[in-house]
Amino acid sequence: MNNLLVAQSGGPTAVINATLAGVIQGVCTSDQIDKIYGAKNGIEGVLKRNVINLNEIAQDSSALETLILTPSSALGTCRFKLKDWKVDEEPYQKIVETFRTLGIKYFVYIGGNDSMDTVHKLSDYCKAHNLDFIIMGAPKTIDNDLALTDHSPGFGSAAKYIASTMAEIERDTASYDIPAVTIVEIMGRNAGWLTASAALARINGGNGPDLIYLCEREFNPERFLQDIRAKLENKPNILVAVSEGIKDGNGNYISDQLSSGVVDNFGHKYIAGAARVLEQLVRKEIGCKVRSIELNLMQRASAHLASNTDVNEALLLGQKAVSCALQGESGRMAAIKRLSNQPYRIELISVPVEEVANKEKKVPLDWITPDGYDVTEEMIDYLKPLIQGETNIKYENGIPKQIRLI
């Protein structure tokens, strides 16, 4: 039997199911694969042999179409890191047992850095033990921090959500005629790509955000207050975008630094986001109306506002992972190489997964403006193609139609 097993791992995105659908389509268009299985909750489902048969949905084009535009991981996800097989071989043996029991020859793992670590370790184990299982990775992350790929599926849709939402928030905050600061916290502990995409809210001539702080640059609270004061001289409503992971000069997260003494009635430490901490700072030091907003799970789950470019690429990378597997590639990840910005052209490639695993692609410092609170035209040129196009998402009873697999 030449069966294929697919699983999803790490934080969900709006298009990770499009990659799953791409894998399913890749299997359907090949006569080299007999059955397709999906493991529940990532590698945990492989370890526990907790799998579902995906052949039925593979034959149902309407269900596949709904799957493509259903957010989050339809097979469930996990955050499980395999230890080195030289340290603990047992999980590897269990995985191989699952593969043998189900007649799996190909395993495609859709995920981010940690998941690519799993792909790397598992393919490494197979090679070292002369096991001819094929292990392929397909990229997924809203953070856009995966190395060796121009960008990652999930990022474009999150960027489109952030750009559109910032444009809407800008309209809202601009409607009052009194000095006010609105601070929006955007996901990204170590990479500021998503925060940078807030700049796209100005792409059609919009008035904000006024200040954008990425986590790649040191964040100076005093300087931040100066920036706000300077902006307030020219307009009453200041809109700020900050990465959740902004750090001070000593490398400490701003949230930790300023909120360390905060406890609630029960003596428990308060967990405050960066924006909430900055809200407190502005209230104390400037004293104007101030509000903090976290885009929270919405930025990664809003499939209703997915980028069609992102959805299509997610789908294609799922197909690519299968075609690479069929060509015998193992320990590699399907990836995107950008050929040009305008017209936007890409090529699908595959890259060695050991060079992707556990690395983080950060924003180049020269894509941040010298004043430290905006991004350059080069960044805009990079980001702009990724949010283009709207999907034909179906609504049922007024809300987006979704599918559940497990």
Q: If binding is defined by CB under 8 A, does position 40 make contact with a second copy?
A: yes
Binder of a second copy out of 227, 322, 384, 391 (CB under 8 A)? 384
Residues 267-306 that bind a second copy (CB under 8 A): 268, 270, 272, 280, 283-284, 291, 293-298, 300-305
Instruction: Verify binding: residue 381, a second copy, rule CB under 8 A.
Output: no
Could you say which residues in the range 232-261 bind a second copy, by CB under 8 A?
A: 258-261
Question: Considering beta carbons, is residue 83 or 284 the nearer one to a second copy?
Answer: 284
Nearer to a second copy, 280 or 323 (CB): 280
The CA-based dihedral angle spanning residues 178, 245, 114, 162, taken in that order and rounded to the nearest 10 degrees: 20
Q: Of the listed pieces 226-234, 329-337, 348-356, 380-388, which binds a second copy according to CB under 8 A?
A: 380-388
DSSP, collapsed to helix, strand or coil, labels residue 216 as coil
Under 8 Å between Cβ of 70 and 303: yes
- Cα–Cα distance for residue pair 22/25, rounded to 1 Å: 5
Map the footprint of a second copy across residues 327-356, applying CB under 8 A. Answer: none
Tokens standing for 37?
């299985």
Tell whether residue 378 is a contact of a second copy (CB under 8 A): no
CA distances from 164 to 81, 170, 197, 344 (A): 35, 10, 10, 21
* Cβ proximity of 279 and 255 under 8 Å: no
Nearer to a second copy, 100 or 235 (CB): 235
Query: Does residue 207 touch a second copy according to CB under 8 A?
Result: yes
Sheet containing strand 211-213, strands side by side: 211-213, 237-243, 180-186, 289-294
> Which residues 123-162 are close enough to bind a second copy by CB under 8 A?
160
Contacts to a second copy from residues 85-124, by CB under 8 A: none
Strand blocks (E) in 219-307: 237-243, 289-294
CB 43 within 8 A of CB 89: no
Active site residue 143: yes
Choices 40-48, 115-123, 124-132, 367-375 (CB under 8 A): range interacting with a second copy: 40-48
Would you please indicate which residues are annotated as catalytic (active-site) residues?
143
